[in-house]
Amino acid sequence: MKSTQYSDKVLDHFKNPRNVGEIEDADGIGQVGNPVCGDLMWIYIKVGKNDEGEEIIDDIKFKTFGCGSAVSTSSMITEMAKGMTLDEAYKISRQDVADELNGLPPIKMHCSNLAADALQAAIDNYRLGTNPEVEIVTSCQLGVRVILGIEKYFGKGAYDAVPVDLEELREKRVLIVDSGDESLELALELTNYTGRVIVVTSAKSIPGNVEIRKKLKHSEVKLLQESELIEIKGELDEVEKVVIHDNDEDENYELFVDVVIVMDYRG
């Protein structure tokens, strides 16, 4: 079965998704997935009471980044859950959502069928009463951790200071480790030389002082937040790729780059 062989009902929900959007004064918010994997889902709920005094889902909305089935399952579950008591809604399973949509391609059952998890997360968020807002932490000035292999790449794509001639970096893929405002200014400057500048920062939001933050937001610098550079790799001792640790997901992934700049690297 092809990954896009969807039932008519899945396609209907994809084309005309129900309950898209956000609820500004939501009582519960659930977020699941990870854009790295290709799916990210937010579900917002507003809780009310029915005639028996039980808590029910008065209103529900969603936002989703993902493939056809990710959109359809989000839309489907909002229709199913609206008006249900919280206890009932909490019991909706991935299989229930898939069944209601007349089935999903097998390959999609696990990867893009996260709506039930998102709804449960939203109900948990409401019941535990925690603030759904993501906490914002300012720039990382924590210094740089040990980066495996970096010493042997100095002079071969790795720099521990601002390169003397930025022209050398023209159209290179440059990765800069955030070690304060100077490193961020270098990142902004480098966008005049290459279309690919990546900043790795352990901060949860855009790092830097007010002015730098503003510039970064409107620049083509790619920010990897809540992340750390942990290893440099390459054949012939030239920088070819890096291993990034995503602190939020607690997982490592590789990224192809040509140049790594870690200012004042002290190991």
Supply the angle between the helices 181-190 and 210-217 in degrees, to the nearest 10: 30
**Binder of another protein out of 258, 260, 261, 262 (CB under 8 A):** 258
Instruction: Please state the length of the chain.
Output: 267
Interacting stretch for another protein, rule CB under 8 A, among 51-59, 121-129, 144-152, 165-173?
Answer: 165-173
Interacting stretch for another protein, rule CB under 8 A, among 78-86, 131-139, 144-152, 252-260?
Answer: 252-260
Q: State the nearest-atom distance from the C-beta of 64 to another protein, in Å.
A: 6
- What's at 70, amino acid-wise? A
Q: Does 42 bind another protein (CB under 8 A)?
A: yes
Assigned token pair, 76: 């489907």
Kindly tell me which of 17 and 103 has the beta carbon lying closer to another protein: 17
Interacting stretch for another protein, rule CB under 8 A, among 77-85, 142-150, 159-167, 191-199?
Answer: 191-199
Q: Does 256 bind another protein (CB under 8 A)?
A: yes
Q: Could you give the CA distance from residue 241 to residue 256 in angstroms, rounded to a whole number?
A: 4
Q: Does 243 bind another protein (CB under 8 A)?
A: no
Q: Which stretches of 138-250 are assigned E, i.e. beta strand?
A: 158-159, 174-177, 197-200, 222-224, 227-233, 241-246
Q: Could you give the CA distance from residue 45 to residue 57 in angstroms, rounded to a whole number?
A: 7
Q: Does 7 bind another protein (CB under 8 A)?
A: no
Assigned token pair, 6: 């969807």
Kindly tell me which of 165 and 235 has the beta carbon lying closer to another protein: 235
**Binder of another protein out of 56, 81, 224, 260 (CB under 8 A):** 224
**Binder of another protein out of 58, 88, 100, 238 (CB under 8 A):** 238
Single out the residue of 97, 68, 65 nearest to residue 4, CA to CA: 68
Four-residue CA torsion sign, 55, 56, 58, 61: positive
Q: Which residues are catalytic?
A: 37, 111
Assigned token pair, 237: 């001792």
Single out the residue of 200, 210, 138 nearest to residue 174, CA to CA: 200
Q: Does 94 bind another protein (CB under 8 A)?
A: no
* Chain contacts with another protein (rule: CB under 8 A): 3-4, 6, 11, 14-15, 17, 20, 31, 35-42, 63-68, 70-71, 107, 111-112, 171-173, 194-196, 222, 224, 234-236, 238, 240, 253, 255-258
